[in-house]
Homo-oligomer: A and B are copies of this chain.
């Protein structure tokens, strides 16, 4: 048998606790707790002694105890339900921009960010639901990116909990807090822009099964109708989010369809993929075909050619999601928020 000292050294080192600090300083745990929390109740001299020893011992407050007692996790769960998105494998840079914006906003507000690819109502392999993030104290609120194809579960979940905010389309929304852009207006704006550049035969690339894409597609149809032009079903191509798959679809479409001179793409990634397909087919952008994207992801401006797009103001959207959610958590009158889409004209549209 080894000597106990050796054994202890091999064990997990136990972190220091408030009670240890209290004992060594001959004060109560209450005082240590108050001192470390910066309570004005404790004498400056006492606080300094406590802080000094805490630093010396490398003390970190036990967050699980603190959260249990305070009934607050100071954590927000951000859900990117990729299963819902036609298995796009989360590859769209839109998500990265959104994650970055949310991380910044949450950090500034003093919250930790939990990232999940599963919805709170998802069941695990054995068909059991995961612990509800809100009821289990895992998170104080949930941000869900995207409404998904089937909204019934989202609606049911949001009906149970006030601390839920969704990024999605205002028109499609149910009775839950939502931040998002008017996708129909954005789709219409993009289409009108191409029409104003004298493009006459416009395809829409994007899968209308997704609610947000569907709205963008409605905007495309609105603009065509307003211009007195026909809406041709053949020109609506259900390209997937994922560039690798979209490329096949678009290439096939270009081979089959009568020549087009404009493309309204449902996302920037689809737009860039379409440009690749066009160039491979020997067509120039914007010479032969003008292209608009949607999202204004970070790389849109350094694309080749730089992409005309509808900005979703992702940074602003992330801030609004956090502000709305924190409002709901504080119990205040949290309000949904519609962000206006805006056309950013670059080179790809001529």
Q: Which residues of A are at the interface with B, using a C-beta cutoff of 8 A?
A: 15-16, 58-65, 67-68, 73, 75, 89-91, 93, 95-97, 99-100, 103-104, 107, 112-118, 131-132, 135-138, 243-244, 246-247, 269, 272-273, 275-276, 279-280, 298-299, 301-304
Contacts and interface: CB of A to CB of B under 8 A. Distances in A.
Contacts of A132: 58, 60
26 contacts: A58-B132, A60-B131, A60-B132, A61-B131, A64-B64, A64-B68, A65-B68, A68-B68, A75-B114, A89-B100, A90-B100, A91-B93, A91-B96, A93-B96, A99-B99, A103-B116, A104-B117, A107-B116, A107-B117, A112-B114, A112-B116, A112-B138, A113-B116, A244-B298, A246-B302, A279-B304
Contacts of A280: 304
The 6 lowest CB-CB distance pairs between A and B, nearest first, are A276-B304, A60-B135, A96-B96, A243-B302, A64-B68, A60-B136
Given A60-B132, A90-B100, 8 more contacts: A90-B96, A91-B100, A100-B117, A107-B118, A112-B116, A247-B302, A276-B303, A304-B304
How many copies of this chain does the complex contain? 2
B90 A93 contact: no
Given A137-B62, A280-B304, A97 B107 contact: no
B58 A68 contact: no
Contacts of A104: 117
A128 to B, nearest CB: 10
B73 A244 contact: no
A115 B114 CA distance: 6
A131 B36 CA distance: 12
A54 B32 CA distance: 38
A244 B113 contact: no
Which of A64, A99, A269 is packed against the most chain B CB atoms within 10 Å? A64
A115 B99 contact: yes
A6 to B, nearest CB: 16
A121 B184 CA distance: 45
Contacts of A65: 64, 68, 137
Given A96-B90, A244-B298, A63 B131 contact: yes
A26 to B, nearest CB: 24
B114 A298 contact: no
Nearest to A303: B276
Given A62-B136, A137-B64, A115 B115 contact: yes
Contacts of A135: 15-16, 58-60
Given A114-B114, A244-B298, A247-B302, A62 B68 contact: yes
B136 A115 contact: no
Contacts of A64: 64-65, 67-68, 73, 137
A87 to B, nearest CB: 12
Contacts of A275: 304
Given A97-B91, A298-B243, A63 B117 contact: no
A67 B138 CA distance: 10
A301 B100 CA distance: 25
